[in-house]
Every structure is written in structure tokens, then in C-alpha cells.
Amino acid sequence: MTELPASLHAAHLNIGYQEEIIVSDVQFDLRAGESLALIGTNGSGKSTLLKTLVGLLPPLSGELTVLGGAPQQTSRRLAYLSQFHSSDFILPMQALDVVRMGRYAEHGLLGKLDSFDEDLIAESLQRMGISALANRPLRELSGGQQQRVYIAQALARRAEVLVLDEPTSGLDAGAREIYEQALRDELARGASVVVATHDIQEALNCTLSLLLARKVIAVGPGREVITPEALLETFGITINLNQQPLGVTVVERDHCCDHPDEHER
């Protein structure tokens, strides 16, 4: 049986800002229907790697291909959910408008959405359980509801690769279950998913895990590389992986200045 080509391929990849290397020698291959979890503290290089994958930052050196080409050339085939959003828009936007932006990324802002697009938008709202919020102003929604809107926007892209930065931030237990099912559905249809997370159980459920601490601590199948020793080196704390159910989320103390550009530069 012929192995599928990698949707994302990184070899001896150095990432960072201008000439400052944040993480060196990143290596992995991710194929259709597979998921990669990035684990690490704020400032460890997770967001820098995600921005490099979607073409917002150029690789400093090494190899990186996304869907067979350079990230800048294939970015329209990706969906990117960043960690930080602002609902303080000059023009008030409804939740529906935000999800629609996922389809305008396909057609351009002046493009016309057709019935296929509208069906995807409605489906994405339904999948995240927020159809009833569609006509609500985004700024009036809670933080968790807003996050579900942005996840729905990413789903509406119907992308070949989803790149998600802390997607479960602000989600309650019920919303997390909805998100996890949506992710399983995306993988089942053949999408590749890269997710930055503090949730050890989520990382264990991914095809691959990449542990970062401004260097690569470990990369490979989560249940092989996520060990107490690797987590200690990554987070500086001891985590009991024998606890059942696991449900361990690493919560950091410093969230006052949690912008990745401030931490990772």
C-alpha cells in the first residue's frame, strides 16, 4: 500500500523572527486525516511555529512544505484560528458575519457567496451548537461563545489543513465536547489538524505530539513521547500520567501578557 504524501513536511526547520531563532531543527511529517499537538508554555515557540506553517512568518532555514508548496502559496487551502481576537470592531458584526468570513477567504471580500457557501456556514454554526446565536452581535457574547463562533469560522473554510492556536480557551465542558466531535469529523473527512494546546489528554489523542520549550523536547506519537520526564522538561513541573481519568490541563500563572509576539520574540 502506497503511503500518502505528507500534507505538512518539516525538516531541520528553524523558526523565529528576523534573524532570532526561537526553535531550531523542527522535524515532522503530517498526512491527511492526521493530527499534530504542539505542547509547551507560553513563549515556547508554539505560536511562532503555527504562524510559520500558515505563511505569516517565513522559515529562517530548513525545509517546510504545506500541501506540496511553500506556505505563502498554499495558505488559501488552510484555516487558521489564532489565539487572540478582538470583538471591538468599527462596524458591529453579528456572529453570522464572522462565520461568513470563513467563506470570503475562499472567494475574496468582493466575491459572492452561493448556496453551497451558505449551507457550509449554517452547518458550521450547527456543528458548534450556536445556530441560535447567529444574529447576535459578537461583542455581546461571552468569551466562550465568541470562541465557538471563531471555531465555526474555521470549520466553514472546509480547509485541507486546520491550524488552531489554543482553540479550547474559554470553552466549558459541554462546548469542549462539541469542539472535540467537530475535530474528529474534520479528521474523518481527510483534513490534517495542527493544534497548540495545554491539554495533555487532547495531545495524547492526536496522531503526533511535539513538545516545545524554545527547543524540541520530543516529537512522535503522543503515547510514546508524552512521558513524565518530557513534561518536566517542557513545563518544569511533575505531572502524574497514571491519574485516571487524566484530564490534565497545564495552567500557567502568567497570563497578564499572554500575546505570543511579546513572549516569543
Condensed to tens digits (0 to 9), the pLDDT of residues 111-122 reads 789 999 999 999
Structural domain spans, the chain: 8-264
pLDDT of residue 166: 94
Q: Indicate the CATH number of 8-264 among 3.40.50.300, 3.40.50.720, 3.30.230.10, 1.10.287.3510.
A: 3.40.50.300
Name residue, grid cell 470553552: 171
- At position 34, the amino acid (one-letter code) is E
> pLDDT tens digits, residue range 27-62?
999 999 999 999 999 999 999 999 999 999 999 999
Assigned C-alpha cell, 140: 455581546
Selection from 35, 75, 86 nearest residue 199 by Cα: 35
pLDDT of residue 211: 98
> pLDDT tens digits, residue range 233-260?
999 988 877 765 555 565 553 433 334 4
Q: What is the average pLDDT value for the chain, to the nearest integer?
A: 89
Cis peptide before 221 (omega within 30 of 0): no
Among the ranges given (6-20, 128-142, 236-250), the one the predictor scored with the smallest mean pLDDT = 236-250
Assigned C-alpha cell, 121: 456556514
Query: 195 CB contacts (<8 Å, ≥6 apart)?
Result: 35, 36, 37, 38, 162, 164, 165, 167, 183, 202, 206
Assigned C-alpha cell, 169: 480557551
Among the ranges given (45-59, 78-92, 194-208, 246-260), the one the predictor scored with the smallest mean pLDDT = 246-260
| pTM of the complete model | 0.88
